Structure formats: C-alpha cells, structure tokens
C-alpha cells in the first residue's frame, strides 16, 4: 500500500535557526567565491575579431570574476582553472593541474591578453572541443570526479563550420555530459545573430554579454554560484519549479526512502551540522506541488517499498557554508 500524499510526512532538517520555518523561506545556496568547488576551463577567442581592446576587457573581467577564488591543487572546496585560446584552431595554454595559486592564474590571463593572434576568423567549435579535452584530462584516475565542471567561453564571433563542426551540436553533447557552459559575448561588430547564437550554446540563463554593467557579478552569481549549488547523485534538488531547467535552485535535496533509516540519517546529519539544527515535519502546498510529479519519477526509477515516505535533508556540504 502506498502512503497517500496527505498522511505522508515531509521532513526537513535546517542547519540554522535563521531559516524561519513556516514562513516559506527556502534555504538558499551560499555564494562565496572563495570556497566554490569547481573545475573551470576559460576559453578565450584571441583572434583579430576580439582584438587588443577586446582582449584587455576580457582579461580584466576574468581577473575580477576569480579575484576571490581559491585556485589551487589542494583538494577540498577549491577551484581549478585551465585556459584555452582559439581562432581558426585552438591552443591549450594551461591544464587544470597547472595553477597552484590565484595570483599566477591572473597574471597569465593578462599575458595572454597582450598577444592577440593573426587569425581573422574564430571557430567556437574548436575552442569548445579543446576545453572538453582539458576537462577530461583533468579527471584521470577519478580525481575530483564529484566536482562540477564549467566552461566559460569568451567569444567575439559566432561561425559554424558546417554540419560536422557545429558548435551548438557540440555544446549540446557537452551539456548532456553534465558540464555547464557560460558564454560571454564581446560584440565588436554589432552582429545581431551573434549573441543569439551564444544563447544556444550556453546553459539556460547563462549567456552574458559585455553591455552588462555588472558582468563579473552576473557571471559569479548567475553562473558559477548556481552551478556550485547541486545535490549528490541519487538526490533530487528542490527548485522553484519542477522540470524547469532555469528554475531557482535551493540548498535542499530530496530523496524517497525507507522511513526509519532515513529518519535516523536525517537526524544524525542535522546533529552534525550545528548545535541549533533540528528536525521538523512539514506539509506546505508549494512543496506538495513539487513533490507530486517527483513521486512518479522516482517510483518509476526505483520502486518504493511499502510505507516509504518522502524525506528531505539538506546536503550537509558547502551549501550552508558562507
Ligand atoms: C584554499 O583551500 C585550501 C583547502 O581547503 C585551504 O587549506 C587554504 O587555506 C585555502 N586558501 C585560501 C587562500 O583560502
Ligand atoms: C546583453 O546583456 C544585457 C544585460 O544583461 C541584456 O539586457 C541584453 O538582452 C543582452 N543582449 C542580448 C542580445 O542578449
Ligand atoms: C567566504 O568564505 C571565507 C573562507 O571560508 C571566509 O573567510 C569569508 O568570510 C566568507 N565571506 C563571506 C562574505 O561570507
């Protein structure tokens, strides 16, 4: 017998009393650049299309985005960054294992900005392909294989090299592999199709351009921090709208499971999080609406034993760190 929606219990463990229960305030993921947990490849179009001025602007932007990052090879809530440049062809300048500190990374970015290449065309396809290799190579032997991967593409043009080397198709494959793509358009020539092309390449909501007054802040808050807000494998993230890729994500992970085991796990996770943590049972309408389609999805994937209930515990990782 399946437990009906009405007498099921929704358990939430909050790490902090500041998250007022009952007021519909959902736990937000923290956005602190110094402890993001990411592998990033910065892909820079350094062709004539970008030019000296464009490249200087790109370098200043990258330096601002990563100024507070903890770029290192030390494991933990740290960031690794690689650099690829491209025109007609791409060059891997630095692998994910290259940088041991943030200052060196930023100084190398300015070195690259000093030297535009002579290519007059640039193919996004070739840049993305090289970035995919860098991400793959940075992960040998399962190293950091639970860290989210990101490509940030700085482009001055959108050109397709025909069906076989279609950047949108390649981007689609990359995103299907769980890698997010942030695009930053530097529209030097006022090409109206250019930014529209980048939107097709980017993860939904992550196509930016250099007319934005707070471009670095946008890349941090609506790009990197959102990507860093995720649930572990086999958990479903609670969002503002089920099934919507660009929905707001919260620091709450859901799982259908056996009540006794999960209640204990939730209780222990809460107790470990901080002294003020507690468990509550809750049944609010928004969560019900979210949970309802989820139930089918999860039932189909993994049939629930009789008496199983929905349990939610926050992921006791960096989501609550600030
Ligand atoms: C970077 O992260 C490592 C590992 O967590 C830590 O030991 C180090 O202190 C951090 N560095 C900075 C500058 O925060
Ligand atoms: C460029 O960015 C601005 C600011 O975010 C945005 O309002 C505008 O729609 C973007 N332009 C295009 C063509 O996407
Ligand atoms: C971000 O995290 C660092 C290291 O954990 C901490 O020192 C700093 O105070 C945090 N910044 C904010 C704004 O919370």
More confident residue, 231 or 32: 32
- Average pLDDT estimate for 145-152: 90
Strands of the sheet containing 309-313, edge to edge, are 236-239, 249-257, 309-313, 10-14, 278-282
Chain mean pLDDT for the chain: 75
Please report which ligand is nearest the Cα atom of 77: 1
Mean pLDDT of 122-150: 91
What CATH code is carried by the domain that includes residue 112? 3.40.50.410
205 alpha carbon – ligand 2 mean position (Å):
11
> pLDDT by residue (tens digit) across 258-278?
444 555 555 555 444 433 333
Q: Is the pLDDT of residue 304 over 50?
A: no
Query: 21 and 82: one domain?
Result: no
Residue 317 in any domain: the answer is no
195 C-beta closer than 6 A to ligand 2: yes
Cβ of 35 closer than 6 Å to ligand 3, yes or no, is yes
Q: Does residue 269 share a domain with residue 291?
A: yes
Task: Tell me, yes or no, whether 142 lies in a domain.
Answer: yes
Say how far apart CA 204 and CA 162 lie, in whole Å. 24
- Which ligand 3 atom sits closest to the C-alpha of 70? 4
Which pLDDT value is given to residue 225?
92
Is residue 171 helix, strand or coil? helix
Q: How far is the CA of 75 from the centre of ligand 1 (A)?
A: 9
- Dig out the tokens for 69 from the structure: 């990052």
Is the pLDDT assigned to residue 85 strictly greater than 80?
Answer: yes
How far apart (Å, rounded) are the C-alpha atoms in residues 209 and 117?
22
Q: What is the pLDDT, as a whole number, of residue 286?
A: 56
The pLDDT value given to residue 322: 33
Distance 70 CA to ligand 1 centre (A): 6
What is the reported pTM? 0.78
Residue in this structure with the two tokens 């690829």, named with its chain if needed: 84
Q: Return the structure tokens found at 65.
A: 């985005």
Confidence of residue 30 (pLDDT cuts 50, 70, 90): confident
Residue range of the domain that includes 86 = 33-228
pLDDT recorded at residue 35: 87
Q: What pLDDT band is residue 98 in, cutting at 50, 70 and 90?
A: very high
Comparing CA positions, the residue from 202, 161, 233, 182 lying closest to residue 40 is: 182
The reply to whether 12 and 69 lie within a common domain is no
Q: How confident is the model at residue 292 (pLDDT cuts 50, 70, 90)?
A: very low
**What would the two tokens of residue 34 be?**
């110094």
Residues 120 and 218 in one domain: yes
| Together in a domain, 156 and 272 | no
Pocket test for ligand 2, best of 189, 197, 209 (most atoms within 8 A of CB): 209
Q: Does residue 122 sit in the same domain as residue 207?
A: yes
CATH number of the CATH domain containing 305: 3.10.100
């Amino acid at each position: 017998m399946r437990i009906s929606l009405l007498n099921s219990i929704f358990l939430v463990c909050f790490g902090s009393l500041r998250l007022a229960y009952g007021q519909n305030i959902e736990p937000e993921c923290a956005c602190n650049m110094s402890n993001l947990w990411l592998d990033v490849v910065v892909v820079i179009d350094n062709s004539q299309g970008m030019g000296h001025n464009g490249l200087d602007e790109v370098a200043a932007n990258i330096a601002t985005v990563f100024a507070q990052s903890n770029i290192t090879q030390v494991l933990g809530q740290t960031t690794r960054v690689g650099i690829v440049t491209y025109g007609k062809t791409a060059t891997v300048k630095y692998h994910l294992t290259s940088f041991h500190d943030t200052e060196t990374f930023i100084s190398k970015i300015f070195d690259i900005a000093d030297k535009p290449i002579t290519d007059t065309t640039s193919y996004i396809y070739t840049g993305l392909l090289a970035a995919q290799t860098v991400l793959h190579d940075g992960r040998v032997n399962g190293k950091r294989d639970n860290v989210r991967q990101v490509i940030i593409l700085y482009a001055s043009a959108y050109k397709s090299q025909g069906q076989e080397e279609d950047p949108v198709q390649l981007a689609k494959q990359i995103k299907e592999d769980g890698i997010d793509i942030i695009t930053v358009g530097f529209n030097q020539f006022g090409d109206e199709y250019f930014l529209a092309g980048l939107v097709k390449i980017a993860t939904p909501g992550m196509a930016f351009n250099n007319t934005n007054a707070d471009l670095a802040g946008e890349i941090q808050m609506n790009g990197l921090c959102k990507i860093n807000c995720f649930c572990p494998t086999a958990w479903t993230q609670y969002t503002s709208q089920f099934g919507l890729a660009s929905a707001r994500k919260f620091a709450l992970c859901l799982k259908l499971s056996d009540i006794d085991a999960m209640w204990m796990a939730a209780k222990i996770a809460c107790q470990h999080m901080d002294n003020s943590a507690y468990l509550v049972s809750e049944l609010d309408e928004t969560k019900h609406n979210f949970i309802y389609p989820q139930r089918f999805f999860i039932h189909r994937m993994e049939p629930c034993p009789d008496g199983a209930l929905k349990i939610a515990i926050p992921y006791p990782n960096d989501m609550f760190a600030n």
